[in-house]
Amino acid sequence: MVKALANQGHEIASHGYGHELVYSQSPKLFRNDVRRAKQILEDLTGMAVLGYRAPSFSISSQSQWALSILVEEGHTYDSSIYNRFHRCHNSSQENEFFEIETSVGKIWEIPPSTVNIMGIQIPVAGGGYFRLFPYAASKAFLNRLQGQGSTFVMYLHPWEIDPGQPRMEGPWLSKFRHYLNLGKTQKRLDRLLTDFRFRPLREAVSSEEIDRRKSLFLNANGGLPKAHEILTHRLKVDHSPETYLP
């Protein structure tokens, strides 16, 4: 499947190998996990893997070392910091890509999309949120993001379009999150891909847009924000992972 997707021109990036929360791993285990995933994907596709997204967006202030490891392992962008459900008055800024300075080099951070509803940044970037909202709502959110000049960044696991998967027991909230609207998601995704055009993320961090983006997030000293500045100030809410069934 990975090979077929790559042959069709889709960018293949990494979600790690073992799908463990980043902050529950040691730096050494995390390095092994991302290295293994990257190597397997590169062997399959013959192309460099540039991007990474952590399971349940688990790069947080407790695991900021992860960004340096991603740089060292050859990733040029990350999309694991999902700042949502907080008060904000500049929604388009919240959705901008930004470059972070780590101790071993720079990495682009690509936030999954949020829209501002009554002063709060509501996550609309896919997964459980895409399954929860009716398609008309997702389409309206996307049009709003386009209107404010933001890039829409979303995600979906393969299991989220598989209504025939085995049913497991677990806490009711996990079961609700996991099985919600599985039967409707493929059709919604088809409509999304018909109504809008998408492109590989690697293009968004290697194009002419980059210079404009670079100037948006300089810190008080005129330099790039450091990992700890991003993770302690930008990520204002404590991370609590969404629990799905294993």
Q: How far apart are CA 154 and CA 151, in angstroms?
A: 10
Residue 128 as a binder of Zn ion (CB under 5 A): the answer is: no
Closer to Zn ion by Cβ: residue 53 or 202: 53
- The nearest distance, CB 13 to Zn ion, in angstroms, is 12
Phi and psi, residue 80, nearest 5°: -115, 0
Find the shortest distance in angstroms from Cβ 96 to Zn ion: 24
User: Does residue number 123 form part of the binding site for Zn ion (CB under 5 A)?
Assistant: no
Q: Other CB atoms closer than 10 Å to residue 35's CB: what's the count?
A: 17
Choose between 55 and 225: whose C-beta lies nearer to Zn ion. 55
Of 49-57, 159-167, 176-184, 230-238, the segment contacting Zn ion by CB under 5 A is 49-57
User: Would you say 135 or 155 has its CB closer to Zn ion?
Assistant: 155
In the bound state with Zn ion, the residue whose beta carbon lies nearer, of 77 and 217, is: 77
Residue 55, interface with Zn ion (CB under 5 A)?
yes
| CB 132 within 8 Å of CB 180 | yes
CA–CA dist 92, 70 (Å, integer): 26
Least gap, CB of 55 to Zn ion (angstroms) = 5
Cα 16 from Cα 29, distance rounded (Å): 11
Pairwise CA distance, residues 229 & 220, whole Å: 11
Per CB under 5 A, the segment of 30-38, 54-62, 107-115, 202-210 that binds Zn ion is: 54-62
CB atoms within 10 A of CB 233: 11
Residues at the site binding Zn ion, with contacts judged by CB under 5 A: 55
